[in-house]
Amino acid sequence: MLEVRDLSVRFGEFAALRGVSLTVEEGELVVVLGANGAGKSTLFRTINGLIKPASGEIDFCGEKIGGRPANAVVKAGIAQSAEGRHLFPELSVLKNLTLGAYLRRRDRAGIKKSLEEAYELFPILYEKRNDPAGSLSGGQQQMVAVGRALMAKPKLLILDEPSLGLAPLVSRQVLDAVVEINKTGIMVLLAEQNAKAALKIAHRGYVVENGEVILAGSKDELMDNDDVRRAYMGT
């Protein structure tokens, strides 16, 4: 399981995260809600080692991973499809996916199997496997990003707004895939603009505002919370 305790991040004078605590238990799909700039991406990037925390701890499956570089965090079993996707635009879809399995590059049979699973989850990626990733549509690129993160065979998958900028139909397709992934036993930590859709598939959730967790609760608690409804669901 993932346990974040009292995590703070500063960019110079600006406190981007202030004492954030959060957990993801085995098998859970946890959603983080919040407006743009609330600190969701900063939180995820810090868990993944792209940003160094000012204070606080991050434990994952018994290992202290706070402050470790990103490549070491992947090794510990956390893969991220980050904001901005960060694909390798000139490499083919297949090469992007294969690089996702970089840390288990000697496990050829395992990689082949994971590739098949990724294609099963996103059949369009099989059709486009030889195209440069940069030539794909936004939705397809998002699928590559999720697929690439899965290729690492993570215990925890972190998805930062996987449906951002996608057409509603494609966005539903991506979220459906997230549910499928979670069902295979992979923990998922998800940030999503579409709060309603995200809460529908999640077990629990957190609401982040100005770098702080202001609310935490089960799916139903959050769905019934008036503030959440007003702020994130427009009802």
Which pairing describes strands 156-160 and 14-24: parallel, antiparallel, or unpaired? unpaired
Residue with tokens 């994130």: 232
Among 1, 103, 201, 215, binds other proteins (CB under 8 A): 103
Among 52, 64, 86, 230, binds other proteins (CB under 8 A): 86
Residue 11 binds other proteins (CB under 8 A): no
Among 17, 33, 79, 166, binds other proteins (CB under 8 A): 79
The region of 26-34, 65-73, 119-127, 219-227 touching other proteins under the rule CB under 8 A is 65-73
Residue with tokens 């993944």: 48
Query: Toward other proteins, which CB reaches closer, 73 or 121?
Result: 73
Among 82, 143, 150, 175, binds other proteins (CB under 8 A): 82
Query: Toward other proteins, which CB reaches closer, 56 or 100?
Result: 100
Residue 50 binds other proteins (CB under 8 A): yes
The region of 15-23, 92-100, 120-128, 184-192 touching other proteins under the rule CB under 8 A is 92-100
Task: Give min distance, CB of 196 to other proteins, in A.
Answer: 29
- Give the interface size with other proteins as a residue count (CB under 8 A): 30
HEC profile for the chain? CEEEEEEEEEECCEEEEEEEEEEECCCCEEEEECCCCCCHHHHHHHHCCCCCCCEEEEEECCEECCCCCHHHHHHHCEEEECCCCCCCCCCEHHHHHHHHCHHHCCCHHHHHHHHHHHHHHCHHHHHCCCCEHHHCCHHHHHHHHHHHHHHCCCCEEEEECCCCCCCHHHHHHHHHHHHHHHHCCCEEEEECCCHHHHHHHCCEEEEEECCEEEEEEEHHHHHHCHHHHHHHHCC
Residue 105 binds other proteins (CB under 8 A): yes
Task: Give min distance, CB of 99 to other proteins, in A.
Answer: 5
Q: Which residues bind other proteins (CB under 8 A)?
A: 48-50, 69-71, 74-75, 79-80, 82, 84-91, 95, 98-100, 102-103, 105, 148-149, 151-152
